[in-house]
Amino acid sequence: MMGCGSSMDTNSVIEEPIQSLERWQQGDMDPAAVIEEFVRLDERISKLEATCPGPRMATAEAWVEHLQSQRDSLLGVDTVDMALNPQNNGALQQQQQQPQQHQYRQQMNSEILTLNEIDATTPPPIHQPPLQPLSVTAATIATSKANRGTLLRGNGATTNGVGGAARQANNSIVANTPTQDLANYIFCQLAINLGVVGDVNKASTHEDFFASLSESALYLTSIRYYTEILEHTKVRLKTLTESYNELNELYVHHDGIIAFISGGTYMTRLEESLDSQLEAARDVRDKLGSALEQWRICGTLLRTSATSATQALQQWQQLAKAIDPKHKIQLALECRAALQAALISVECAQLALPHVEIKHISNRQLLAVKHCNTYMITDIANLARYQHTSKVFISFESNASKASTWLYEMFNKTLRHDFDKAEETVRHLAKTLRDHREEVFTAARK
């Protein structure tokens, strides 16, 4: 197909055969106006193509499906159950769409990056062996003149990533889970009544009990955070889809003008050669654009992780100055939630970019943070443990910020340079082809 056969256009441009140059030459339309419209559309397409909405949309769609799968794994969702009990799936989705109160959503919304905002000031990922990484290959775009619209979804999926119905036990747990505020209130009252905040012996006696409560709370918090990240990604996907649809509409009009003028055939050998070179250059650029979206996802998540880690450390340090036991516990719970947000963000970031080994943050450190987060409440009364936990949190906060900066520095040194070079090649070829067609079309009319 001639024209701007760029990324992922699956629509047929010409519904009826065109009678070559004769229709244009004998028509009432102003030839100059037609050519001006062609040039205007071509320039607009080139500008919109530079943002790679098609490849980015494919990557975002694969990421939505992958997040859905990971969250459903936490819930114990069975895809076989979904097929047998589709009504249960709707109930599960309704339960998971309850509004969230935590500040983590605000952090995610405030940390969104656009294509031009990824610079040397932000983040990367970490390895979590038990979880499955996002398949990069399946999120790329296959483009050709014969079919310039093959979209492969993440992990070879052919569905919309809705997920299945939760097993009955897990469904019941989620449905009967108290609100975050109520759960924290109950936890706070238990800690006060048992005196674990100010008495070392009581803290040691009830250590396992409160660790078990914390593990349950952190498990449910993880599900909530995965849901928030999933919903946030769906918003991103919607934006990319709108841009992609806009680009497709431009393709329809643009290729229609070309076919109206030339009858769907190349008018010169140079035009055919330039169009072929442009298609190949676009294919390279689009593949890099898909990878660009993966790095953007990691950058957003790890910058959020660094922000959450800083907030958690500040709350932990304030805890040492607090006198009232209730205030101490409230600060500890806020710290625990912020740390969990940081850990989940790191976890998701590594899943999004599994083939990049991130500097500064290790699995060992993540496990240490998780351990301290679990035993946080009963470690407050023990000075030695409090100091040890402080060291762990300080180190994690520092390394999270370093990792964030490191990723963006690597991005600017590698992928950004390659993408800009590929885009410059596309831009040059597109302009050369545009100028040549303008000249040929004008000559054909004369």
372-420 residue pLDDT tens = 999 999 999 999 999 999 999 999 999 999 999 999 999 999 999 999 9
Q: Report pLDDT for 28.
A: 56
213, amino acid identity: L
Q: Report pLDDT for 278.
A: 97
Closest listed residue to residue 366, CA positions, set 346, 352, 388: 346
**pTM over 0.75, yes/no:** no
Q: Report pLDDT for 351.
A: 93
Q: Establish if 1 belongs to a structural domain.
A: no
> Cα(218)–Cα(229) distance, rounded to whole angstroms?
16
Q: Which residue has the tokens 């990792």?
A: 403
Into how many domains does the chain fold? 1
Q: Establish if 163 belongs to a structural domain.
A: yes
> Cα(36)–Cα(53) distance, rounded to whole angstroms?
26
Torsion on CA atoms 108, 317, 218, 61, rounded to nearest 10? 20
Q: Determine contact, residues 66/351, Cβ cutoff 8 Å.
A: yes
Q: Establish if 12 belongs to a structural domain.
A: no
Query: Which 3 state secondary structure label does DSSP give 151?
Result: strand
392-405 pLDDT, tens digit each: 999 999 999 999 99
Q: Report pLDDT for 134.
A: 56
Q: Determine contact, residues 152/290, Cβ cutoff 8 Å.
A: no
Query: Which 3 state secondary structure label does DSSP give 350?
Result: helix
Q: Report pLDDT for 85.
A: 53
> Cα(62)–Cα(56) distance, rounded to whole angstroms?
10
Domain range for 194: 20-445
> Cα(52)–Cα(61) distance, rounded to whole angstroms?
14
> Cα(371)–Cα(386) distance, rounded to whole angstroms?
13
Q: Report pLDDT for 106.
A: 45
Tokens standing for 220?
């449910």
Closest listed residue to residue 247, CA positions, set 407, 70, 45: 45
> Cα(327)–Cα(344) distance, rounded to whole angstroms?
26
For 28, the enclosing helix (H) or strand (E) is none
DSSP state, residue 310: H
Q: Establish if 6 belongs to a structural domain.
A: no
> Cα(307)–Cα(383) distance, rounded to whole angstroms?
27
Q: Establish if 14 belongs to a structural domain.
A: no
> Cα(411)–Cα(406) distance, rounded to whole angstroms?
9
Q: Report pLDDT for 184.
A: 82
Q: Report pLDDT for 113.
A: 40
Distances from the Cα of 343 to the Cα of 92, 245, 250, 378, 400, angstroms: 25, 36, 43, 21, 10
Instruction: List the chain residues with pLDDT less than 70.
Output: 1-29, 77-179, 446
Q: Establish if 10 belongs to a structural domain.
A: no
Q: Report pLDDT for 119.
A: 37
Q: Report the interhelical angle of 415-445 vs 31-49 (nearest 10°).
A: 170
